[in-house]
Structure 1
Amino acid sequence: MNACTLRCVRVVEFGVLGAVAAWGESGEPIALKGPRHRAVLARLLVARRRVVPVPRLVEDLWGGEPPADAVGTVRTFVAGLRRALEPERPRRTASRLLVTEGPGYALRAEPAHVDAWRFEHAVAASADLLPAQAVARLTEALELWRGPAYADFAEEPWARAERSRLAALRLTTVERRAEAQLALGAPADAAADLDAHVAEHPWREDAWQLLALALYRSGRQADALSVLRRARQLLREHLGVEPGPRLRRTEQDILRHADHLDPGPSDTAAQVWAEASASYESMVPLRARTRLESTAGLMRDLAVTGGGGLEAARRHRAAAVAAAEQLGDPELTARVIGVYDVPAVWTRSDDPAQAERLVGAAERTLRLLPPGAPEAARARLLATVALESRGTLPDGTRALQAAHQAVAGARRLEDANLLVFALNGLFMQTFERAGLAGRRDGIGAEITEVAARHGLFTYEVLGHLIRLQARCATADFTAADRHAAAADALAERHALPLVAVFTTWYRALRTAATGPPHLGESAYRAAARSLDGAGMPGLEHGLLPLALLCLRLHHGLPATADPHTDWGPYEPWVRPLLLLAEGRDQDAVRTLAAVPSPPGDLLHEALWSLLARAAVQVDDRPLMRRAQEALGPARGELAGAASGLLTAGPVAGHLDALATALAVHAS
């Protein structure tokens, strides 16, 4: 016997928790040829190492009408599978994986090499673990699922029983993990998982009971009772049954605050944090480079808390990057910069000077990285350049190029986390001209889909907000409403307070666009209060007065404002209209002559609309033609509504006013 047959047995991993697949030792997919080859492999995996007779394979593959040469065809399929699974097996030696035995064939895969079998083993083993270990083990087990079991053979009778068994075990595993989370003192985590679980599987009474208990232990008694009422209604409407005794007893216990529902006041999370922090302090040296990476990671989590957390995150992140550069290790600097992949939807930086420094650090690090540095590190640096540039820093061409390179790198690596980060950078660079809401909607759709599939909830929110903005631009408020509701639901589930700032402003925009001016003004003023303490100066500075001015333009009202109004960064494009309102026409003409073109950002069309109005009033024909050219691609949009925050009315109205004014002079 060839020595390689004894020693060089190739390890093949099989996957059935999703579409049936196989991978080699290095993780590369194994080509399984046509659907019949895949069906033979799937049928043998269903048999779980047992022999499947050839007549049974023929019947399962073709049903009651097999071809005349069915047996020979099955043998051909098996031979093809053997070549794919064991390409290095010497000729004329027996297969050690797909074996011939008695009247048929068996796949002798090891239990550790089939994802469904590993899943079952992990679930069984978790029964003897402590809650914290059980949560980790069950989470790993659930992450093995790529989709429904044997997804590409859902209609095959021979797969039906195994598919049902595995699906039922998965549902039970989700509930067992929730029980472990409750035992661990993490009811909020359990509630977040169970909420989606009962929405997909409303007949699971145990899941409803666990969700109610998790909400109650999270201090949400009213929500817990509401969940139980919803369970009762769904069970009656869909199954025609009343809730079982366990659900009814849980409702009664919650109403009377039964002692056994709450394990006590101890703050397990705080205890875990304190113990882990102490261990980190004692085990990781004070000057260790690991601390810089840890700091950047913590700042990423801190940033989404809003307010002071966001401001502190920006400050400490910049300090960590500067410290990493001082150490002279470009790969460390790349990790410190790249780990801060916080989603961003607003196109004006909260701290432009710091953003410019970060872009500079990223560019320097890109130049210093050695040739063998991981591609993911380069892609994250490129995404940072695109994201932090936000279309407002010099050399926008470089930022757009960096965005495309980052996205291409993420796609090559098939890295979902990196891809959504890179797409966020690409979104920031889609403002080279007006009228690109459709392109941004496509980016938002991909971010949403990838993030939802991989559990990246902060980016799933980002995707919905980008799509909200894009649909606002085209006045599709029905779709925008759906994205706002989805973003709000995710924000509530995952404690993301800054999301409400954008959805509150969106609803003010919708009111302003569809209702009378006084209602729009009230809505904008109410929305402005959501910015108090949000820690987003790049968004809040000058936004309310700009929204109110645009509201007046939308309704054809004269531009008026308090002379002491702080217009923030929008002052250059607002000032000409204000001067005209004061009767200072010559000053307005001089100001218009020096005003720069609006930056490429979410308010690009709104600011051009302000300039267009002023240009018409002072008969500045060159500026009118520039405004006409700039706004032309967005004729079908609402000016400024791409921001999801405000609008100056239909772009078509501004273009028509420009065309009329230019036509008068031409005649």
Structure 2
Amino acid sequence: MRVEFGVLGAVSAWDEAKEPLRLKGPRHRAVLARLIVARRRVVPVVRLAEDLWEEPPGDAIGSLRTFVGDLRRALEPDRPPRTPPRLLITEGSGYALRVPKDDVDAWRFEEVVESLGDAGPALVAQRLDEALGWWRGPAFADFGDERWLRSERSRLTELRLHAVERLADARISLGRAAEAVPDLDAHVTDHPWREDAWRLLALALYRSGRQADALSVLRRARAMLRDQLGVDPSARLRRLEEDVLRQAEHLDPDADASVNRVWEQATAAYEGALGSRARTRLESTVGLMRDLAVTGGGGLEAARHHRVAAVAAAEQLGDPELTARVIGVYDVPAIWTRSDDPEQARWLVDTSERTLRALVPGSHDAARCRLLATIAVESRGALPVGEAASGVLARPLQAAGQAEEIARRLGDPGLLAFALNGTFMQSFRRTGLALRRDGIGAEVVALSGHHDLVRYEVLGHLIRIQARCALADLAAADRHADTVDELADRHELPLVSVFTTWYRALRTASAGSREAAEAAYAQASDSLRDAGMPGLEHGLAPLARLSVRLRHGASAAEEDADADWGPYEPWVRPLLLIEGGRTEEARAALRGIASPPRDLMTEALWCLTAGAAIAVGDRTVMERAHTQLLPASGEMAAGSGLITLGPVAEQVGALEEALA
């Protein structure tokens, strides 16, 4: 049986049904109180006798054993004979009360106060309001000024006074100043030496619109401190009086504080109302992760981690409809075609496929659409050249098409925007499709603008920046970049500036000097620091410097011999080997070179491969490169919106000349 002990008032004990246990006389309660003060440590019998009697009688030890026996029967009435006690134990020549922290109200109160640390005011108000309710009177109220109790009683009393003041401070911060006034008024009456209590009472009155009363309280505090304690008010209290007199602006909460207050109150209320409803908690968690993902840096990384944990937890519950909702609610717009975490992406795709198969056929169309769109988005860059006909590898294309068809049929704008994101991610089945992607971006912009889908509106503009770069329409790309920066600033989307900063570096590289281009790319590289986007960041900076050198006729290997080329290394290595005079190694590298992934870098990587193949005269690779680049001969090798290698037609012409 669980037993709870109370010392925040008269010493008491209750069983699991909250019924009070009979603890007999004051000596029994004194033994129990003394053991609680010891906090699970053993108290020798001799020490107990000295603490309970000023002059211990001759039979003190025997009496103590009787008291302990009576307490054990009260605390564990169902304990079988000759079995050791579980709560009040004998150890050596003494006794100890071995109970969990949560079973003693004073220990539980202390734990709450210490655990709050720098918690927000809503949580502080909620937890302290409950914890202060555990007090039924002064600590150990049925005992006098016993020496063994003085320190513990003083400590608990101070802890309570601090909690009362912190609760009042939290209520004031939450805009509930009037609610704090009555408790603070009683508090300063009982404890007039506590300056912080006077300060809080004056502030609560002022924020309740009672300036005159606030001034009166501050003057009462000054008089009391001088007359009764012989001290002047602290500088903090004097400043508050001056600020109240001149109605200082800082005494009123600013806009940010109001916003924070609303957030604190809403989240605390939601947490309290939600309780332990696991399914609702999971969906809410992923919704929060969706918002967290666009905050940048650690937020994006945390969102990816917690998203997977939420999906796994949903799948464990064995409810495919719930799993579909948890997967699908994370409709964070995706612009970059290389995954930040390929292993996680594969896991999400596999889970989405399992969930699709588990749904009842012919039902849950919206959930199916979101699962299909998730498959399309998370399978970004998964189709190598020449293998799109493979059933396994064609699945993302099929999923994108199915998601878009369902979304259009349902007429749900948010669903269609998510599906079009999947369509964009799978729009790289060959080179030269910039115009097709521009059309996708234009539809996303129009759809999002009409239905106030701000994040997808940003996505649409970013897609159009990339497409207009590939179509050599930098004036239009500029307009989209300006619009997207304005949207990002207005709606607090910090990650967006990474892409516009890199676009403007491309802009500089297209028209400026080599020095200006390298400086612009150095600034762009800084924007990636702590952005939380390894799929974008890894290898991009050296690739950008290489693009500048090639455009200005400089050595490909200059300064970057030991650079980390990341995923681009296989298509850069042949050029570096050639520049280093290792032509045969370059030929060997080209001989087994794979096709670049079908993504935003495809044309650029084929151009690098073509240049190396021309340099060593590898006709097979030249023919492959010509076949792949020919559809894009009317475009720029700039479809990423980040780097440019100039007109694709120049490389196609060089290949045709070399092949002739």
Q: How would you bin the TM-score normalised by the shorter chain?
A: 0.5 to 0.7
Q: Which residue of 2 aligns with 1:324?
A: 314
How far 1:274 sits from its partner (Å)?
2.0
1:468 aligns with 2:465: yes
How far apart are residue 649 of structure 1 and its match? 1.3
Post-superposition CA distance 1:321-343 (Å, at most 9, x none): 11111111110000000000000
8 Å contact from structure 1 (residues 305, 497) kept in 2: yes
- Aligned-pair distance for 1:391? 2.4
**Residues 295-329 of structure 1, C-alpha deviation per residue, up to 9 Å, x if partnerless?**
11000000010110000000000111111111111
Q: Could you tell me whether the CA contact under 8 Å between 1:550 and 1:606 is conserved in 2?
A: no
Which of 293, 296, 311 is the equivalent residue of 2:283?
293
Structure 2 letter corresponding to 1:265: D
Q: Which residue of 1 aligns with 2:413?
A: 416
Residue number in structure 2 paired with 1:524: 521
Distance apart, 1:433 and its partner CA: 0.7
Report the counterpart of residue 279 of structure 1 in structure 2. Answer: 269
CA-to-partner distance for each residue in 1:466-500, whole Å, 9 max, x for gaps? 00100000110100000000000000100000111
Q: Which amino acid aligns with 1:575?
A: R
How do residues 180-199 of structure 1 correspond to structure 2 at under 5 angstroms?
Answer: none
2:404 matched to 1:404? no
- In the other structure, the counterpart of 1:264 is 253
Contact 1:331 1:373 in 2 (8 A): no
Contact 1:386–1:428 (CA under 8 A) maintained in structure 2: yes
AA in 2 matched with 1:594: G
Counterpart of 2:573 in structure 1 is 575
Q: Which residue type is aligned with residue 595 of structure 1?
A: I
Task: Give the Cα–Cα distance (whole angstroms) in 2 for the partners of residues 466 and 451 of structure 1.
Answer: 13
Structural mapping, 1:405-484, within 5 Å: 405-484=402-481
After superposition, the CA RMSD in angstroms is 1.9
- The TM-score normalised by the length of structure 2 is 0.60
Matches within 5 A, 1:199-218: none
Per the TM alignment, residue 442 of structure 1 is displaced from its structure 2 partner at its CA by 0.2
1:501-528: CA deviation from partner (whole Å, max 9, x where unpaired): 1011001101111222222111111111
Q: Is the 8 A contact 1:553 1:649 kept in 2?
A: no
Aligned to 1:660: 657
- Structure 2 residue runs of 5 or longer lacking an equivalent are 1-173, 176-245, 385-391
CA separation of 1:559/1:276 partners in 2, compared to 1, >3 Å: closer, same or farther? Answer: same
Q: Which moved more, 1:444-453 or 1:585-594?
A: 585-594
CA pair 498-262 structure 1, distance change in 2 beyond 3 A: farther
Equivalent position amino acid for 1:324 in 2:
A
**Equivalent of residue 600 in structure 1, options 594, 598, 601:** 598
Using the alignment, how far apart are the partners of 1:625 and 1:321 within structure 2? Answer: 46
Letter in 2 for 1:367: R
Larger radius of gyration: 2
CA distance in 1: counterparts of 2:617 and 2:296, whole angstroms: 46
- The residue identity in structure 1 corresponding to 2:464 is R
Pairs aligned (count)? 408
Match of 2:619 in 1: 621
TM-score of the superposition, structure 1-length normalised? Answer: 0.59
What SS does the corresponding residue of 1:566 show, helix, strand or coil? Answer: coil
> What residue number does 1:375 align with?
365
Give the residue type in structure 1 aligned to 2:502.
W
- Write the letter of the residue equivalent to 2:615: Q
State the distance in 1 between where 2:483 and 2:250 align. 31
**Deviation of the 1:392 alpha carbon:** 2.2
Q: Residue type matched to 1:356 in 2? A: R
Question: Which deviates more from structure 2 when the two are superposed, residues 372-381 or residues 341-350?
Answer: 372-381
d(CA) in 2 for partners of 1:272 and 1:404? 42
Alignment deviations for residues 632-665 of structure 1 (CA, whole Å, 9 cap, x no partner): 01111111x11000011111111111111111xx
**Aligned match of 2:563:** 565
Output the CA distance in 1 between the equivalents of 2:413 and 2:525: 35
Q: Which amino acid aligns with 1:556?
A: G
> In 1, are the aligned partners of 2:383 and 2:598 still within 8 Å (CA)?
no
Distance between the aligned counterparts of 2:251 and 2:507, measured in 1? 43
Q: 1:389 aligns with which of 373, 379, 382?
A: 379
**Secondary structure at the residue paired with 1:642?**
coil
1:284 Cα deviation from its structure 2 partner: 2.0
For residues 434-491 of structure 1, give each alpha carbon's deviation from its aligned partner in whole angstroms, at most 9, with x where no partner exists: 1000000000000000000001101000000000100000110100000000000000
Instruction: Quote the Cα distance in structure 1 between the aligned partners of 2:551 and 2:648.
Output: 10
Cα 1:262–1:404 shift into 2, 3 Å: farther
The CA deviation string for residues 527-582 of structure 1, in whole angstroms up to 9 with x for no partner, is 11111111111001110100111222223333114322100111111111111111
CA 1:333–1:517: 2 relative to 1, 3 Å = same
Give unmatched runs, 5+ long, in structure 1: 1-183, 186-256
Once the two structures are aligned, what percentage of the paired residues are identical? 64
Residue 393 of structure 1, CA deviation: 6.3
The question of whether the paired residues in 2 share the 8 Å contact of 1:612 and 1:624 is answered with yes
**Counterpart mapping for 1:533-552 below 5 A:** 533-552=530-549
Amino acid at match of 2:403: A
1:78 is matched with none
| Correspondence for 2:325 | 335
Query: Aligned pair in 2 of structure 1 residues 258, 438: CA closer, same or farther (>3 Å)?
Result: farther
Aligned partner of 1:357 in structure 2 is 347
How many Å separate the matches in 1 of 2:275 and 2:651? 63
Following superposition, the deviation at residue 263 of structure 1 comes to 5.4
- Give the 3-state SS of the residue equivalent to 1:384 in structure 2: helix
The 2-side partners of 1:660 and 1:262 are apart by: 77
**CA 262–613 in structure 1, closer or farther in 2 if over 3 Å, else same:** farther
Mean Cα deviation higher: 549-558 or 539-548: 549-558
The answer to whether the 8 A contact 1:356-1:393 is kept is: no
Amino acid at match of 1:387: V
Partner of 1:308: 298
Alignment of 1:216-231 (within 5 A): none
